[in-house]
Chain A
């Protein structure tokens, strides 16, 4: 079946540090890939997505590139802020079973001033 493996957390960084959260996947079909963010006490919201190989999703200074050859979708940001403290989830949906959505375990990021 499909699966998503995320870098284990929690991750603690100082403000303005560089962020990478690794995400790799296995999928039986052709997946679309997503990063969702969950701020404390809230539901998940889409951060960025990519729907085909070599696409780069970007939003709010975050970026991730769909790498089919390495089955990866790593999340990066050049300079994190305290307001980026949240839980980040990598997820996929495939064309062969569009009703199913598979999430990673989530990575908790804390940014200290």
Chain B
């Protein structure tokens, strides 16, 4: 089954404790991206990757890091989480038809930073 898998789905952590949210897709997509969803603000793009070893900032990259060492994986790293990073995070991937291709989303990771 074609899917985007995120882990963990739920996480409660404390300020400053490094964490990684993993994302993996099994559709051989070149493009992957991370978003955060906050009430009243829709989805905002954090980082994206057009291909292996190629990453770029989205609209809200501050406080986040990413890496793309393999085509299928695109982890999101919070080096020193803060309460304003409490949010619902989505990973997505898309095939090579970049601006016309649909995004396939994971089920989301709800992060709470105390």
Contacts and interface: CB of A to CB of B under 8 A. Distances in A.
Interface of A: 6, 31-32, 34, 36, 42-46, 49, 51, 89, 91, 93-95, 98-106
Interface residues of B, number: 26
B102 A94 contact: no
Nearest to A1: B59
B24 to A, nearest CB: 14
B58 A100 contact: yes
A49 B97 CA distance: 13
**9 A-B pairs with the lowest CB-CB distances in the bound complex, closest first:** A98-B98, A43-B105, A105-B42, A98-B99, A103-B43, A46-B102, A93-B99, A51-B100, A44-B105
A56 to B, nearest CB: 15
SS class, residues of chain A in contact with chain B: strand
Interface of B: 4, 31, 33, 35, 40-45, 48, 50, 56, 58-59, 90, 92, 98-100, 102-103, 105-108
Contact of A46 (B44, B45, B103, B108): B103
A102 B41 CA distance: 12
Given A89-B43, A100-B48, A101-B33, A43 B108 contact: yes
Contact of A45 (B31, B43, B50, B105): B105
